[in-house]
Structure 1
Amino acid sequence: MIVIADISVSADQFPLGRILEAYPSVEIELERLVPLQDGIIPLFWVSDGDSAAIEETLRDDPLTNSVTRLTQTNSRVLFEVEWGPEVNGLVQALLRSDARLLAAEGTADIWDFRIQFDTRADMAHFRRLCTDAEISLTLRRLYNPMLPEESGALSNEQYEALVTAFRAGYFEVPRASKMSDLAAGFGVSDSAFSQRIRRGISSLIAETLMPEFGHRGQRADPVSWNVDTDNR
């Protein structure tokens, strides 16, 4: 059964938090982690900070191979950073446990994550990896969600496209971001990104407003912490 965990870690135990600890007022939203053969690419939004100074700090860090500013809207900047293979700790624990990062945001003090695991065993593996790396986790909430039927569910690509577009102000009037900039952040054409948006919206309408065309999503029920995932 799928398990979703809300956890918190101190910022110094996550690379982005450690790198940007000199900017206490900055807020960061991690969009996704992309594993590469010889490294890892995080895509993240930075809000309420000196973007030029932040970019310079990112470039100067020994963990980063490259830094790209993808797009900017109001006070938010979308960065793409390539980390070298030596990045470890929480990042490697997420990748090695096949966890799906649903949401992540943080400041110079603390980071909050929402992580999906295919099974409780995968979550226990993640916990053990963090323990071995001396990473202290705080579990805030645990869920066993009911999944919607496949025919009506959003794909991962549609979900990420909709969330990114919403956070970038694409659905505001007037729009705060361009389709071309958002598409560039995903490395796809304007047409391909537009299709993800349209199909994602169609799936959401089918599931929420017209359930006769799709299975109505069910709320996740909180469950108690299971001893078999406790720290060892």
Structure 2
Amino acid sequence: MIVIADLSIPADAFPLGRILDEYPEVEIELERIIPLRNAIIPLFWVSNGDTEEIEATLTEDPLTESVTPLTQTDSRVLYEVEWSPDVNGVVQSMFESDARLLEAEGTVDVWDFRLQFRTRSDLAKFRTACEENDVPVTLRRLYNPALPEDNGQLSARQYEALVSAYKGGYFEVPRGTSMSALGTEFGISDSAVSQRLRRGTAALIAETLLPEYSQS
């Protein structure tokens, strides 16, 4: 049976963590990782950073073969990077266990992944491979097999954060819970919680109050 797992790893255990280490204000959302015979290509969005500095940092990485900006919005750039096939750690562990990347985002401290595995054995294989590559993995939550409905722009992670914040009284005056408490609940940093609440709120406004805007 399919298993969906929410996992966290330290930012420095993932190749893109170097950007966040040098530019902590930057936000990264990983779209997908494409394995090729002679290369591995991640596609990811970068927000809140100087484009030239980020591209220079990516290019200087010894694993990087090429860097290509694909498209740009007002605040985000979509990059395609060609990594050397020598990249290991969590990336190779995903391939070895046939994991499917559903979501991934990083902060200066931690990377959060949502991965889909065909079986629990594949999940166990992934964790073993990470251990062999000295990548510490924190398993935060399992879904077997369904996720909350993901309608429109609101992602499952944003849904979870908003619901927990609402139930905990975060939006009340005075607040019934804090950003730090929500971060502890999900096993992520305060900054990551803030990003999910902000983006989730924006998505809800676009979908419910301005549906014609969200469809444009």
Q: Same fold (TM over 0.5)?
A: yes
Q: RMSD of the TM alignment (CA)?
A: 2.1
Query: One-letter code of the match for 2:144?
Result: N
For the residue of structure 1 that corresponds to 2:35, the secondary structure is strand
Give the structure 2 partner of residue 88 of structure 1. 88
- The residue that corresponds to 2:198 in the other structure is none
TM-score, with length taken from structure 1: 0.63
CA distance in 2, matches of 1:132, 1:146: 30
Q: Deviations over 1:49-76 (max 9, x none)?
A: 1111101111111110000000110110
Aligned partner letter, 2:82:
E
Paired with 1:55 and 1:107, the residues of 2 have a C-alpha distance of: 18
Secondary structure of the equivalent of 2:87?
Answer: coil
Which residue in 2 is equivalent to 1:173?
A: 213
Partner of 1:50: 50
Match of 2:200 in 1: none
TM norm structure 2: 0.67
Q: Is the 8 A contact 2:20 2:27 kept in 1?
A: no
The 1:14–1:172 alpha-carbon spacing in structure 2 relative to 1, beyond 3 Å, is: farther
* Aligned counterparts, 1:20-99, within 5 A: 20-99=20-99
Are 2:137 and 1:104 aligned? Answer: no
Aligned residues: 155
Closer, same or farther in 2 for the Cα pair 1:172/1:81, shift >3 Å? farther
Say if 1:2 and 1:69 are closer, same or farther in 2 by CA, change over 3 A.
same
Cα 1:172/1:68, change in 2 over 3 Å: farther
1:61 is matched by which residue type in structure 2?
A: D
2:79 maps to a residue whose letter is F
Q: Tell me by how many angstroms 1:174 deviates.
A: 8.5
**Shift of the alpha carbon at 1:18?**
2.6
Matches within 5 A, 1:200-219: none
Contact 1:20–1:54 (Cα < 8 Å) also in 2:
no
Cα distance in 2 for partners of 1:175, 1:79 equals 24
> Which one-letter code corresponds to 2:124 in the other structure?
A
Q: 1:135: which partner in 2?
A: 135
Q: Deviations over 1:65-108 (max 9, x none)?
A: 00000011011000000000111000000011100000000022
Q: Please give the alpha-carbon distance, in whole angstroms, between the structure 1 residues aligned to 2:95 and 2:39.
A: 12
CA distance 1:97–1:174, change in 2 (3 Å) = closer
Whole-angstrom CA distance in 2 between matches of 1:174 and 1:116:
28
Structure 1 residue runs of 5 or longer lacking an equivalent are 148-166, 177-232
AA matched with 2:213:
V
Identity %: 65
Do 1:19 and 1:61's aligned partners in 2 also have CA atoms closer than 8 Å? no
CA distance in 2, matches of 1:79, 1:172: 28
What is the distance in 1 between the residues matched to 2:109 and 2:212? 31
Query: Shift of the alpha carbon at 1:20?
Result: 3.8
Contact preservation (8 Å) 2:19, 2:54: no
Q: Which residue of 1 aligns with 2:123?
A: 123
